[in-house]
Amino acid sequence: MKLLRNYFVSIVVVLSFIVALKSPAFAGSESVNAVIEDYRIGTGDILDISVWKDPALTKQVIVLPDGKIHFPLVGELIAEGRSVAQLKDELESKIRVYMPDPVLSVSVTHVNSMLLYVIGKVNKPGHFILNSRINVLQALSMAGGLNPFAEEKKIRIYRQQNGKTIQFPFNYKDVADGANLSQNILLQRGDVIVVP
C-alpha cells in the first residue's frame, strides 16, 4: 500500500512540473531567449552576402560608421540596427528588380560592434568585446577587478537608449555579498561602466 501511495505521489509531482513548465512564468524565459537570439547588426560588423550562382553578387562588406553598406545593384543600404533576416529581405526585394527569385544569403562573419567600456579605478580599463551576454560583475572581472582606491558603492553604468543616456547604480559590495542582485544587470552594446 505504501509503495502504491509513493507511486501516485511521484506521478502527481511529475504532472505538476509539466504544468508549471507551460505556465506564463516559464513562457517569459522563452521570450528572453528569443530576444537574445535576434542579433542586431552594428557598425564595424563584417557581413558575407551572396546570391546563389552569381559570383559578381557575392561580397564581403563592412558596416560603415554611418551604419550603411554598399552592395552591387542595390547601392547604399542601412544595415545598422537591423536583424540579419530584415537585411536579407530588403536586399532580396531590391535585387528582384534585376533578377527573378534571387536566392540570397546573409551572414555576420565578424562581430566587431559588440563593445562595452569599463573606465576608472579598475586594474585593466578599456573596451571589451561582448561574445556573449554578460552582467556587470563579469565585466568588472574582465577589467581585472576593482583597484584598492575604487569607491565600490558608487559605480555607475551608462546606456544610450532612444537618444537619451540612462544611468544604473551598482553597489559592488552589496552584490558581492549577495544583496540587491537586481543591480547586476545584463549589459548591452555600448554600455559604459564607470568606477570612481
**pLDDT at residue 166, rounded to an integer:** 96
CATH code of 149's domain? 3.10.560.10
Where among 110, 125, 157 does a domain terminate? 110
- 26 belongs to a structural domain: no
Residue-number span of the structural domain to which 128 is assigned: 115-195
**pLDDT at residue 122, rounded to an integer:** 97
- 8 belongs to a structural domain: no
Where among 73, 91, 110 does a domain terminate? 110
d(CA 158, CA 165): 6
Residue in the block written with cell 500500500: 1
pTM assigned to the model: 0.68
Where among 68, 94, 110 does a domain terminate? 110
Lookup: cell for 94 = 531590391
- 15 belongs to a structural domain: no
Q: Give yes or no: residues 66 and 96 share one domain.
A: yes
pLDDT means per 10 residues in the chain (196 residues)?
42 38 38 52 94 91 96 93 94 92 92 93 95 93 96 96 94 93 94 97
**pLDDT at residue 31, rounded to an integer:** 34
Residues whose CB falls within 8 Å of the CB of residue 76, separated by 6 or more in sequence, listed in order: 68, 69, 70
CATH code of 59's domain? 3.30.1950.10
